[in-house]
Amino acid sequence: MKTTISLRHFLLALAVVAVWGTNFVVIKLALDQLPPLLFATLRFVLVLLPMVFFLARPKVPWHNLAGYGLLIGVGQFGLLYIAMNGQISPGLASLVLQVQVFFTIALSMLLSHERLQRMQWLALAMASTGLVIIMLHTDGDTTLLGLAMALLAALCWAGGNIVARSAGRVNMVAYVVWSSLFAVPPLLVLSLLVEGPSAFASSWQTMDLSAWAAVAWQAWANSLFGYAVWGWLLARYPAATITPMALLVPLFGMGAAALWLGEGLPAWKLAAAALVLGGLALNLLWPQWRRWLRSRRLPAPL
């Protein structure tokens, strides 16, 4: 397996994180025309159809697919879309959602009874400080309720990570497609119950080409293209070579929100981003740094 990524594959990975990051702007623009739960429903309908007829079902139990579909479809994206519907700005949403890394670690520890390393405690403290800064600066664009829902969405994402990990080595694109079978029905029912049949009917009448393009972008670019390419790269390079690039997602998210939506980047927001991303980077890169130090028989600082 190669350890040094080629320029072409680096650009391909960069394209994926750019899609994932700028996707938060696409969500915000689509929410101007669509109620959040209906938007989530349409997204997963397009993930499911027509690909479910072309991809074989992964060899995992149905309850595993159901768990992933509910956690990611209803939990992560249902909550995220509701939060971004006037409760949290796109740039901050792209940042807060990355806390799923620490939630995933916490859930893994709960299941395996492992303990945090000292460097992981430091990384968690940095990210938590960044979140506290965001909490202290909630305003009309970002509320405490929106922040709470984004954190809940991140927790659901972490739960989905644990469920997906228990599935073993599978075709991740097929896994996402087939799990959408369990995301669509509850999202549709929730949309009808919460947003009402009238909102459902009026949205169908008022949706223009840009709204449909946003839904398609969510399904095909964000879900299918993103997972397909990311999985393809992970099959060719060590995870330590590819996964650090995911740290660029919030940078693309905040940059795109500032460029296209005029979202401000005051000092407190940049400080919060630096702390959260610094904590994520420390948690992700520390094991590699420790291995490098040990290979040269140098003492690790922590």
Model confidence pLDDT, tens digit, residues 115-145: 767 777 888 888 888 888 888 877 667 899 9
Where on the phi/psi map is residue 49: left (φ > 0), alpha (ψ -120 to 50), or beta? Answer: beta
pLDDT at 302 over 60: no
Q: Which domain holds residue 86?
A: 7-295
For 138, counting Cβ atoms within 10 Å of its Cβ (0-12 exposed, 13-18 middle, 19+ buried), the class is middle
Mean pLDDT score, 289-299: 60
CA-wise closest residue to 255 among 247, 267, 246, 265: 265
Three-state DSSP at 183 gives coil
The whole-number pLDDT of residue 290 equals 65
**Number of domains making up the chain:** 1
Residue 2 lies in a domain: no
Q: Residue 229 is encoded by which pair of tokens?
A: 């390419």
Residue 175 lies in a domain: yes
Global pTM reads 0.88
Residue 157 lies in a domain: yes
Residue 90 lies in a domain: yes
Q: What is the pLDDT of residues 268-281, one digit of tens each?
A: 889 988 998 888 78
Q: Residue 177 is encoded by which pair of tokens?
A: 């497609």
The distance of Cα 203 from the centroid of its chain, to the nearest Å, equals 26
The whole-number pLDDT of residue 41 equals 96
Which whole-number Å values give the CA distances from 152 to 32, 34, 58, 126, 206, in the listed order?
Answer: 23, 22, 28, 19, 31
Cα dihedral 179/252/124/279 (nearest 10): 140
CA-wise closest residue to 253 among 241, 265, 242: 265
Band of pLDDT at residue 238, cut at 50, 70 and 90 = confident
CA gap 259, 177 in Å, rounded: 32
Query: What letter represents residue 103's amino acid?
Result: F
Residue 133 lies in a domain: yes
Please name the residue that has the structure tokens 């806390």: 99
The whole-number pLDDT of residue 289 equals 65
CA gap 300, 164 in Å, rounded: 33
Residue 44 lies in a domain: yes
Taking the CB of residue 114, how many other CB atoms lie within 10 A of it? 10
Q: What is the pLDDT of residues 19-35, one digit of tens each?
A: 999 999 999 999 999 99
In the chain, the percentage of residues whose pLDDT exceeds 90 is: 49
In sequence order, what are the residues at sequence separation of 6 or more whose Cβ sits closer than 8 angstroms to the Cβ of residue 198? none
Q: Residue 63 is encoded by which pair of tokens?
A: 């309850």
Residue 82 lies in a domain: yes
Residue 301 lies in a domain: no
CA gap 236, 133 in Å, rounded: 39
